[in-house]
Structure 1
């Protein structure tokens, strides 16, 4: 689940001491990359294990929003989201500036440790019954998230998310950092059939794929992780993007199996949220737009030395498999 033991940064140790009144016994980094600096901590007291994240700025707005999103979704739904145990800002000299977006590494959060493993390393090679169960649960989770956000918020626009302490949700929708696929979707909507579900704006996880899940050995999902890139986008776009991540990119799977996985995913999504019967006609367009946005986001991450380090780490992980 993680790399070899290493010493937790002094700032993280200090946070643990202040929040829990205990010390860090051991520290591991996740085996795969993360937008945030992530540490898996074993503590001397209670709780025995926690996850600490430092930074994790959204690619959409540059703000650190994950703790607020997790609190919102965790408190108002039954979805498997780790509890936020505490969050705050470092006050060390050199780590704090006037604005959050200027110093995302000043933000920290402590999360509940959830049992389970990432299915990413074995997803394409596992028993098909396990994979189908996982995809079924994933479709259900996405449908429940979209149904809840439609009922709860009735978003009238798409965009990124920023923290706003004065709002009941702790978040507000704002313009995404350009260039954004949101602009392209707005243009595309002018030529699509006038259907409310095509442009229905919903809360999106932002990076929903097997690597951001924890599961049991049978494929049951125990947690959905890494909500740092959550944003508001059209529901159909989010469904198509998830299909790419859970089905389309695994070209080693036989074509009939991929078709079956799409069928399972869409059926479980429809158990909770609406999906137009002619969605498959539009899905390839949404998937192309997602690929374009992914390239834009990758270029944005690569502009910083830390981002380039994350990309290299991810590539090494892929090669090692």
Structure 2
């Protein structure tokens, strides 16, 4: 995103002058910059000193930019620490319909540090607090009836461009756990484990902000939010906070983190007996489906650009 584009978007939407801006070292696959603004009075309210401006960031499930709508829904229905949406819109393209990558949004800047790059170096007490908070927040999200749907699917914009609708994604996606939940003679999970819930879509340490004690101050990057079964979403999130660190964290510590994550989740959302046995199946399925999804994405020019962006940020 060019400096002129950022300055124009912020100036038009917030009536504020951009003093300077920088790109975060990690975060969303959307074009993302943090803007420092001239402060002062704005209609009786103090103007923020910093905001986050994003452009693009289409969902891998539906190729639609949904993050602003998802955050508005989550902020209205829950008390989760998510950034407020300050403004959103589309860059007008002459002679053609707007491409999803031309959508933009300006978000509240939330204080905190990204724990992802230094997750293994955190003090054990800080990492445990982070994991417990992350489990509790995910449980609160999944327990929110106002965000309930009657089936699983990707999220896309409705016809009015201000609502969210379910859309079945193409191919074999990690959005749908499929037969492990429903295909056995006796389903692996009961009604609570199979209930469709809105979930983050990429819930991991790098998409959180925390304070010095490990308390979560913000959940970021909701561009791949979707609806899936509760147990499947929980197992996938647990893998990102615990299992991917096998060989780098002692087994006893991983088991402690796993217990903290599940107990905190269960404080708000039901966790059925036998989840431990089912979780391994869900995690293996998630790996297989994610691999298939990456292969599908890599066949498309936009998908290849998105993958290159992710690889570049991982290397950084």
TM exceeding 0.5: yes
Partner of 1:144: 140
TM-score w.r.t. length of structure 1: 0.89
Asked whether 1:245 is paired with 2:243, we answer no
TM-score w.r.t. length of structure 2: 0.90
Asked whether 1:36 is paired with 2:35, we answer no
Choose which of 199, 207, 213 in structure 1 pairs with 2:208. 213
C-alpha displacement of 1:140? 0.3
| Rounded Cα–Cα distance in structure 2 between residues aligned with 1:185 and 1:194 | 12
| Rounded Cα–Cα distance in structure 1 between residues aligned with 2:307 and 2:158 | 30
C-alpha displacement of 1:92? 4.2
C-alpha displacement of 1:217? 1.1
Choose which of 279, 290, 293 in structure 2 pairs with 1:297. 293
- Determine if contact 2:153/2:166 at 8 Å carries over to the other structure: yes
| Rounded Cα–Cα distance in structure 1 between residues aligned with 2:313 and 2:285 | 23
- Determine if contact 2:173/2:290 at 8 Å carries over to the other structure: no
Assess, with a 3 A threshold, how the Cα gap between structure 1 residues 211 and 28 changes in structure 2: closer, same or farther: same
Provide the secondary structure at the position in 1 that maps to 2:242: helix
Partner of 2:59: 58
Deviation >4 Å, runs of 4+: none
Asked whether 1:15 is paired with 2:15, we answer no
Asked whether 1:155 is paired with 2:168, we answer no
| Rounded Cα–Cα distance in structure 2 between residues aligned with 1:267 and 1:234 | 19
- Determine if contact 1:33/1:313 at 8 Å carries over to the other structure: no
Cα RMSD over matched residues? 2.0
Partner of 2:190: 195
Within a 5 Å distance, the mapping from 1:1-321 to structure 2 comes to 8-45=2-39, 46-93=47-94, 97-98=96-97, 103-148=99-144, 151-164=145-158, 166=160, 170-182=163-175, 184-186=177-179, 188-191=181-184, 192-193=187-188, 195-251=190-246, 252-302=248-298, 303-304=300-301, 305-317=304-316
- Determine if contact 1:118/1:215 at 8 Å carries over to the other structure: yes
Provide the secondary structure at the position in 2 that maps to 1:62: coil
| Rounded Cα–Cα distance in structure 2 between residues aligned with 1:203 and 1:183 | 12
